[in-house]
């Protein structure tokens, strides 16, 4: 993975250019501003672009879904919200059915889903991920992001105040 630091409209982010053969051309954008990523997701919803969104916080998932529902009201599709986005969390008993996601249905989930789920969407799906706390490890966040096997792009917010890496490379670790 080739990592580059970029900035845009007051928000800096990292671009990870994926060089794995099976995922060539699918880039991951890391943002330090949750609002930027949330606005992108709401905009995608308003344009009927299917997405998958993972959270490390049920509270934050609810907050963003409230914004999505307001957009649904403006689009006159509030009565169809359950047909447009499916949620999975510790607060509901939704049973995952992969056939639900062959079309344009979007998906949002809290840490209830980490492993064992494979989405092979027929249409490339945009990926969003929000990490607000130190609940999930980077490996677990990556697992959430990798649930979709046909990603179009990944837009990831990781709260910069949850901590910084002590070592930026294996060489730094070894020298300490």
pLDDT of residue 36: 92
CA distance 133 to 100: 30
CA distance 31 to 11: 7
pLDDT of residue 129: 92
pLDDT of residue 18: 54
pLDDT of residue 135: 78
User: Structure tokens of 31?
Assistant: 């943002």
User: Structure tokens of 132?
Assistant: 């607000």
Of 119, 117, 116, 163, nearest to 138 by C-alpha is 163
**Backbone CA torsion sign across 103, 108, 112, 114:** positive
CA distance 131 to 152: 20
CA dihedral 58, 145, 128, 167 (to 10 degrees): 90
pLDDT of residue 26: 73
Question: Could you list the pLDDT tens digit for every one of the 176 residues in the chain?
Answer: 455 566 666 666 666 555 554 555 677 888 888 999 999 999 998 888 888 898 888 889 899 988 888 888 888 888 888 778 888 888 877 677 767 666 677 877 777 666 657 777 778 889 999 988 877 877 788 888 888 888 888 998 988 776 665 666 667 777 76
Strand partners, 5: 14
pLDDT of residue 145: 84
The distance in angstroms from the start CA to the end CA of the chain is: 25
pLDDT of residue 128: 93
């Amino acid at each position: 993975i080739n990592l580059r630091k970029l900035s845009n409209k007051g928000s800096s982010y990292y671009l990870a250019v994926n060089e794995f053969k099976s995922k060539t051309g699918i880039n991951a954008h890391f943002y330090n501003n949750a609002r930027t990523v949330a606005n992108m997701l709401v905009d995608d919803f308003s344009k009927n672009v299917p997405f998958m969104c993972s959270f490390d916080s049920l509270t934050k998932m609810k907050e963003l879904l409230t914004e999505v529902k307001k957009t649904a009201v403006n689009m006159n599709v509030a009565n169809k919200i359950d047909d447009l986005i499916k949620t999975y969390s510790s607060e509901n008993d939704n049973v995952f059915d992969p056939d639900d996601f062959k079309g344009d249905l979007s998906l949002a989930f809290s840490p209830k889903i980490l492993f064992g789920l494979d989405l092979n969407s027929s249409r490339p799906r945009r990926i969003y991920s929000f990490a607000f706390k130190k609940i999930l490890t980077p490996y677990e966040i990556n697992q959430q992001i990798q649930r979709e096997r046909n990603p179009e792009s990944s837009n990831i917010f990781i709260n910069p105040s949850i901590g910084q890496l002590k070592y930026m490379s294996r060489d730094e670790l070894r020298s300490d």
